[in-house]
Structure 1
Amino acid sequence: MEIDELKAIVEGLLFASGDEGMTLKQICKVLELPESAVQHIIEELKYDYERKDRGLMMMQSHEVLHLTTKPEHSSYFKKLLELPQASRMSQAALETLAIIAYQQPITRTEIEEIRGVKSDRPVQTLLSRALIEETGRKETVGRPILFRTSKDFLTYFGLTSLEELPPLPEATETEEDTKEADLFFERFSNEMDD
């Protein structure tokens, strides 16, 4: 593989790893390359990011590498945060919100077991929109955070209590139950689009 392709792969890996970032050893393992080769790729990427026409930079903290925005552009990111948030949520966020609504209180790990994929970003999105909230810690190993829907969730969807959520279809579901749940989630998705 050429160096440019390897740099692109490392850049993609760092982007995909999000806030967690990756260590040099993790990158070596994924690329199946020696540490010296990966260190060279990272140095080249850092050099590329130093150019003024690039909006990102690579940061290393406690041996973990992250992609981040450049501090000199911070005033623009501040303006972005001040803009009214688009109400559209990803399918992942909607799935996560539905899981929390029906299974609360629930931990992030339990959400991920149901969805079958990592759910850090959808949970962060829901927390930032105040649709869910932390509700303590589960009395188990590691004491993970428990999440539940917030009062804003009820208000947003015009519910007075969680009992008003349509019943989930069961194995012996009736056509009526299925339609009711489908209509709720269709409304749910449409309201998020508006």
Structure 2
Amino acid sequence: MPSAPDPSPKRPANSLALAVLGLLLEQPMHPHAMATALRERGMDRAFKLTTGSLYDTVRALARDGWIEADGTEQVGNRPARTVYRHTAAGREGFTAWLDELIREPSLEYPRFLSAVGYLGALGPVRAAQALRERAAALGTRIAEATEAHRAARQEHGAPRLFVIETEYALAMARAERDWAEGTAAEIERGALTWPRGADEEAGA
């Protein structure tokens, strides 16, 4: 009998575990079906999703008592696949963990936030170019994520609630793109000035 998860010290450390537990709220499924659902909904943009990482995560969740085997499923001549479901303690632990994550903002340390604090080191010309390039890359990602969200809703029939995280990610990406474009424009028109001599030191 699997042991109950300890929600305080034994919570999984990666977001892929959170996604797996979330999928199993909908219905029991095997890892292959999990991977398909995550990709169809564009959730693989939120974390690194590989066959190895997914199976490792499923095994760890089963070992720690969050999920358990619920029989097997076989299609045609393919090998039988183990189907997983929440344990009672796992479901309770997951909803408590999720409630905490949504209610309580936590400090995160993205690399861009660290780097942008030293934007002045690039000099105005190079800084504006870098921000424009970032904004363009974000625009590409936004277009791809928008299409993935459309496909998940229209082609795969995913309810909006099941892909709402994509809406959040798109809102954040649009806000970052708009900030990068706006700041680049300020630099280009001279509204954001560099300290005297700093632009020459940066090679601008």
TM-score of the aligned structures, taking structure 1 as reference length: 0.29
Greater share of residues in helix: 2
The alignment's TM-score, normalised by the length of structure 2, stands at 0.28
Bigger share in strand: 1
* RCO comparison, higher one (Cα < 8 Å, 6+): 2
